[in-house]
Structure 1
Amino acid sequence: MGQSPDLAALVGEWLRGITRSGFVPGVRARARAALQELLEEIVAALRAEPFDPAAGRRIGAELVDLRMSSPPVIGMTVRLLAERLPSFVDGDPARVPALLETLVIGFVTAQRDAAVSAAEQMNRSEKIHWRRVQTDLQQRLQDALLHDPATGLPNEQHLRRHLATRTGRVGLCLLGIDRYAELADALGADNVTKLLTAVAHRLAGDHFLARVGGDQFALIADVTGADDMIKLADQCRRALQAPLPLDGHALRIDVTAGIVDARAVDDHWLRDARLALAWARHDRRDHAVFETGRADTDRRRHRLAADMPAALDAGEFLAYYQPLYRLTDRAIIGVEALARWQRPGDRPVLGPPDFITLAEHTGLIRPLGRFLLDQACRQGAQWRQAGHDLLISVNLSPLQLGEPTLAADVADILHRTGLPAGNLQLEITGSVALNGGNETLQKLTDLGVRLAVDDFGTGWSNLATLSRLPVATVKLAAEFIADAASTEVLRHTIGLCHALGVTVTGEGIETGDQERLLRALDCDHGQGFHFGRPASADVITERLRVDRDW
C-alpha cells in the first residue's frame, strides 16, 4: 500500500506524540517504519469489506511487542487515531471507534499475557501495584475512546451511548461553526484548539454537550417540542456572539443549527441532525428542523443523480415537443423541445424539474444538453423533409452557455443533422445573457441561429438591454400572463419589443381568455396546455399528418 502525504504526516504526528509520552524510540527510522506499517494495517482494516473490527486486537498486541506499552502512550495513541482516522475512511463513521475498542482489548490482553510468566515471582505488594496499573490503564483507555482530545468533551461514540439511555421526549441540536475552515487556516492548529475549548466552555450548561466533528457540537435536552430546541440554539448563538479573546484578538463566532426532536431516539438521530444542518446552510437560515418528507425527497434526488450517467448512456433521455402557435390564425409555426427521462419498466416519465438541477450540480448538463439538442435537430430535419418547416426551440442551460465550444458544437450538430440554422431557436435566461455571454451569443447568431429570452417577466425585465443583445424573440413568463392586473404592462412590453424588432411569445397559456387577451394585445405566438401538452415525436408527427384540431 503506497503511503499518501496525509498518511505520512499522521505517522510523524503519532511518533512525536509517543516520544512526548515518554517512549524512547531508539533508532527513530525503525520506529517510524514500524508505525507506518501499523497505520497502513489499521487503514486497510477500516476500508475492508466486510469490515471486521477484530483486526484491532492484532494491532494492539503489536504495539506491546514494540514496547510502546505505557498508559500515556496508548492513551495518546487512541485519542490521536480517534480524531484523525475518520478523514481516511469513507462510509460508516462507527468503524473507527469499533476498531479502536478491539485495539485496546488486544493491547491489554497482550500486556496481561506478557506479565503472566513474571506474576509468580511478584510479591504481594507488587501484585497489588500491577492490578492498580491495569485498572488505571483500562480507565484511561476508556476515557480516550469516549472523549474528544481537543476539548475534553464527550465524542460522537459517547453521544451515541448517551442517546441510547434517554427516554421520553428528547431533542438534539447540532451546532456547526460557520466558516470554520477559514478560521482554522487563519488561526493555526494550536489556536484552533484554544478556540474549540473556548466554544465548548460557552456552550456548557445543564444539557448534555459533545463535540462530534471538526466544527460540530451536539446538545441533548429534554423538550416539549421543536420550539424548545430552537430557543436553545438561539441561546447558544447569543452566547458565542460575545467576543472570544484569543491570541490578542476578539473573535465573534456564528453558528448554524440542525435540530431533531419529537421521535423516539434511534441510531439515525445524528445523521438526521447533520442533514438538517446542511438544509439550514443551503437555505441561509439560522436553523432547520429535520423533516422526514424533505429527507425522503433528498434521498430520491441522490438516487436519481447516481442513476443519471448510466441512463444517459442507455438513451433513456428524450425530447417531448410542445407546439408553438401563431395567434392570428392558430397555425403551428414550431415546437419547443422539452427534456424527459423515460426510465425502464412501469416507472413514471420524469420532467425537467425532477432532474435538470441535478444535472447542473453534477456537471452532466453538458453532455445531456448536447444529446437533447442533437435529438431535437435530427427530429426537426425529419419533419422538414416530410413537408413541415417548423422552428425547433431548445433550452440552453447557463452552464452550456458558458462553454467556449458551444457555437462550434451547435454548428457541428446542424451539419450532421441537416437542419438549417434558421430553423433552430435557442432559449436562454435574460440574466445569463447579461452576465458575460454576449460573445458566445454573437457567434450563435452569426451561424444563423435564432435566440429567445425565456421566462421574461420573472426577475429580468429590462427591455432597454434588448437593443444590445442579438435576441430575436422574447417569451413572456406564464406568471406574467396569469396576472390579471398586468394587462397594461403586457401591452407596453409587447409594443416595445415590436419597436425593437423582437417577436413575442406568450408561455403557459391555459385558458381561452388568456389567448384572446394576447391576440388583442398583438402578441405574435403562444404555447401552453390550452393548445396542447408536450408529447412524443411520434404523437406530434401523427397529429401533423392528419391535421387535427390544435
Structure 2
Amino acid sequence: MRPARADLAEEWLRGIARAGFVPGVRARARAALQELLEELVAAVRAEPFDASVGDRIGAELVDLRMSAPPVIGMTVHLLAAELPPLIGGDLSIVRVRVLDLLEHVTTGFVTAQRNAAVGAAEQMNRSEKIHWRRVQTDLQQRLQHDPVTGLPNEQQLRQHLAAGDGIGLCLLGIDRFPELADTLGRDTLLTAVAAMLRQLTGVFVAHLGNDEFALVAEDLPKVADEARRVLLPLHVDVRAGLVEAAGGGAPDDRLRDARLALGWARQDRRDHAVFEPARAEADRRRHRLAADLPSALDNGEIVAYYQPLYRLADRAVIGAEALARWQRPGGPLLGPPDFITLAEHTGLIRPLGRHVLERACRQAARWRRAGHDLMVSVNLSPLQLSEPTLPADVADILHRAGLPPGNLQLEITESVALDDGYAALRRLADLGVRLAMDDFGTGYSSLSLLSKLPISTVKLAAEFLAEPAVLRHTIALCHALDLTVTAEGIETAEQEALLRSLGCDTGQGYHFGRPSPADSRGCVAGCGFHVA
C-alpha cells in the first residue's frame, strides 16, 4: 500500500492538472510534488519552527512551470485540509503551522510569478497588462476565499481578527455533517449554509473547511441563536464555541480556544459553550496525564493503597479494599477520579486493572502466609468485564500469587450488572471468587435483580447513612437474600453504632482508616497488624 503522502501528492497533481496543466512527464511532476510535501512535513516538525521555508516551496512551483493562477488557490485549499492529519501530533499546533507555511508558499509563488513577469512587462501591450492585473486580482481573491462557498477563508479570518479590537468569535459546527453531506451533497450543503449565514447583518462570516463556519461579532450568544434561526429552513442543527471579546489574544489562540469550546458544546450536548481558561487548563492537564499513563504503568508508578474492612460486630479486620493510586515522580499522589476515566477512554483500563489486581493478590497472599487470612477486594471496570479472557486471567493471577479464590473479592457496579456481563460473572463465581455490588442504590438496579446475580455482598452507597429507615429495610432485605452487607463511607462513631444496631455486617470509611500503602513489612495503617 502506498504511503499516505504519496496519495496526497497524486491528489495535488490532479488538482494542478484541473487548474492549469502539468508540464513534462507526469511521473516526474508527481515525484517533485512529493518532495515538496516531505519538505513541508519536515518544516512543520522542525524545532524551532521556521515558516519562511514556504517561500522557497512557492517559488519552486513556479520553477516547475505549475504557475497557472488557480494553482496556488487550489494548493492552499487542499493542503490546509489534508496535510495536518498526515503529520500527527497536537493537531491544533500542526494546523497553525501548516497555515503559516502555506501563507509563505503563497507569498513565494506570487513573488516568483512577479519576478518572472518583470522581464516581459515592458514588452506587454496595454490589453496584456490589464489582463495580467485581472489575473493577479483573481489570484488574490482565490487565496483569501473558500472555493466552494465564496466566503472568506481561515487566512482572511485571521487577518480580520488581528485587525479588530473588541470583537468576539463564534465557531459553528454542523451536527451530523457527514450524514448530511452524503445525503445532500457536500458542496450543495455548504453553499446553502453559506447563503443563509450571509443573511446575518453586521457579522463577518468565514468558512474554515468541512463543517466549520466562523462568525465575528460582539453579542455572541445572540449571534449564535440568530445563526440557528436562519438555518432552520435547511433542517440543519449547529453547535457553537464562543470566545468573548474581552478575552483578547492572538488570532491563532482565539481560533484554538473557539475549537475547544465547540468541542465542549458537543461533549455537553449544549447549543453553545463559552471558552473558559480554567476548563481549558483542566483539559490540558488531562491530556498530559493521558499521554503519561502508558509509561506510568511501565515504570511502576501505579500503586495499590489499602483501606481496611471491619466486621462491625467485634471490630475485627477481615480484609482490605485495594485502590489504585498514581504516584507521579515529583508530583502529587493522584486518586482514581484523576485517571481511571482517562484509562477507560484510552483503552489502558485493562492493563491498569490487571496490574492492580496482580499487586493486590500478591499482597493478600503475603498476609496469608504470615498468618492473616484476609480478603482483598478489587474494583472491576465494565471494560475489564467485557474481556472474554477475564475469568482465565483472574485464575492465572490467583495461581501465580498463591492466593485461594475465596480470598479475592471483585467489586462491580450496578451498570455492569444491568449490561451483558452476567456470563462472565457466573464464570468468576464458579472459580470461587467472591463478587460484590459496589455503590448499591446510586444506579438503577433493584433488590429483585440481586437475587438473579451470582454475588455474595452488597456494598451500600454512603448516601444510605442519611436515611436510617431506608437503611434498616435494605439491610433486612439483603439478609433475606443471604447477602452480606457492607457500608461504605463511615466517618463517625455514631454512624458505626447505628449500623451495628441495624445488623450491618461489615464497614469501611475514614472513621476506621484511610487508604494507605502496605509498607516494607506489609503493614497497612489502621489494620492493627503487620507481616513480620
- Calculate the TM-score normalised by the size of structure 1: 0.88
Tell me the equivalent position of 1:54.
52
Tell me the equivalent position of 2:69.
71
**Do 1:83 and 1:148's aligned partners in 2 also have CA atoms closer than 8 Å?**
no
Q: How does 1:140-539 map to 2 (within 5 A)?
A: 140-168=138-166, 170-187=167-184, 191-204=185-198, 205=200, 206-222=202-218, 228-242=219-233, 244=234, 252-267=235-250, 268-345=253-330, 347-481=331-465, 483=466, 486-538=467-519
**Do 1:328 and 1:519's aligned partners in 2 also have CA atoms closer than 8 Å?**
yes
Question: Aligned with 2:368: secondary structure?
Answer: helix
In structure 2, the CA distance between the partners of 1:296 and 1:19, relative to structure 1 (3 Å rule), is closer
Amino acid at match of 2:59: A
In 1, the alpha carbon distance for the partners of 2:132 and 2:509 equals 79
Deviations 1:125-149 (A, max 9, x none): x255555455434433332222222
Deviations 1:94-126 (A, max 9, x none): 333333333333333433444455556x2xxx2
Of 256-265 and 15-24, more deviation after overlay is shown by 15-24
Question: Aligned with 1:468: secondary structure?
Answer: coil
In 1, the alpha carbon distance for the partners of 2:402 and 2:454 equals 24
In 1, the alpha carbon distance for the partners of 2:310 and 2:527 equals 17
Amino acid at match of 1:100: L
Of 134-143 and 526-535, more deviation after overlay is shown by 134-143
TM-superposed deviation, 1:429:
0.6
**Do 1:426 and 1:451's aligned partners in 2 also have CA atoms closer than 8 Å?**
yes
Question: Aligned with 1:320: secondary structure?
Answer: strand
Amino acid at match of 2:173: G
TM-superposed deviation, 1:186:
3.6
Tell me the equivalent position of 1:4.
3
Amino acid at match of 1:241: L
TM-superposed deviation, 1:256:
0.8
**Do 1:78 and 1:144's aligned partners in 2 also have CA atoms closer than 8 Å?**
no
Deviations 1:478-518 (A, max 9, x none): 1222x3xx322222211111111111001001122222222
In 1, the alpha carbon distance for the partners of 2:242 and 2:121 equals 54
Amino acid at match of 1:211: H
In structure 2, the CA distance between the partners of 1:80 and 1:413, relative to structure 1 (3 Å rule), is closer
Of 520-529 and 88-97, more deviation after overlay is shown by 88-97
TM-superposed deviation, 1:39:
4.5
Tell me the equivalent position of 2:21.
23
In 2, the alpha carbon distance for the partners of 1:394 and 1:400 equals 12
Question: Aligned with 1:302: secondary structure?
Answer: helix
Number of equivalent positions: 521
In 1, the alpha carbon distance for the partners of 2:341 and 2:102 equals 42
Amino acid at match of 1:195: L
In structure 2, the CA distance between the partners of 1:220 and 1:110, relative to structure 1 (3 Å rule), is closer
**Do 2:489 and 2:509's aligned partners in 1 also have CA atoms closer than 8 Å?**
yes
Tell me the equivalent position of 1:541.
523
In structure 2, the CA distance between the partners of 1:82 and 1:390, relative to structure 1 (3 Å rule), is closer
In 2, the alpha carbon distance for the partners of 1:447 and 1:198 equals 62
Question: Could you list the runs of 5+ residues in structure 1 that have no partner in the other structure?
Answer: 223-227, 245-251
TM-superposed deviation, 1:16:
4.3
Q: Aligned-pair RMSD on alpha carbons?
A: 2.6
**Do 2:72 and 2:143's aligned partners in 1 also have CA atoms closer than 8 Å?**
no
TM-superposed deviation, 1:285:
1.3
In 2, the alpha carbon distance for the partners of 1:171 and 1:119 equals 45
Question: Aligned with 1:197: secondary structure?
Answer: helix
In 2, the alpha carbon distance for the partners of 1:386 and 1:196 equals 72
- Calculate the TM-score normalised by the size of structure 2: 0.90
In 2, the alpha carbon distance for the partners of 1:545 and 1:75 equals 72
In 2, the alpha carbon distance for the partners of 1:52 and 1:3 equals 29
In 1, the alpha carbon distance for the partners of 2:366 and 2:400 equals 13
In structure 2, the CA distance between the partners of 1:397 and 1:309, relative to structure 1 (3 Å rule), is same
Amino acid at match of 1:176: G
Deviations 1:343-374 (A, max 9, x none): 223x2211111111111111111111111111
Of 260-269 and 211-220, more deviation after overlay is shown by 260-269
In 2, the alpha carbon distance for the partners of 1:529 and 1:299 equals 32
In 1, the alpha carbon distance for the partners of 2:121 and 2:236 equals 55
In structure 2, the CA distance between the partners of 1:65 and 1:541, relative to structure 1 (3 Å rule), is closer
Amino acid at match of 2:401: T
In 2, the alpha carbon distance for the partners of 1:60 and 1:81 equals 13
TM-superposed deviation, 1:464:
0.6
Amino acid at match of 1:306: A
Of 307-316 and 510-519, more deviation after overlay is shown by 510-519
**Do 1:334 and 1:392's aligned partners in 2 also have CA atoms closer than 8 Å?**
yes
Amino acid at match of 2:217: A
**Do 1:78 and 1:141's aligned partners in 2 also have CA atoms closer than 8 Å?**
no
Question: Aligned with 2:170: secondary structure?
Answer: strand
Amino acid at match of 1:154: P
TM-superposed deviation, 1:212:
2.0
Question: Aligned with 2:103: secondary structure?
Answer: helix
In 2, the alpha carbon distance for the partners of 1:308 and 1:31 equals 45
Of 257-266 and 288-297, more deviation after overlay is shown by 257-266
**Do 1:163 and 1:265's aligned partners in 2 also have CA atoms closer than 8 Å?**
no
In 2, the alpha carbon distance for the partners of 1:156 and 1:219 equals 11
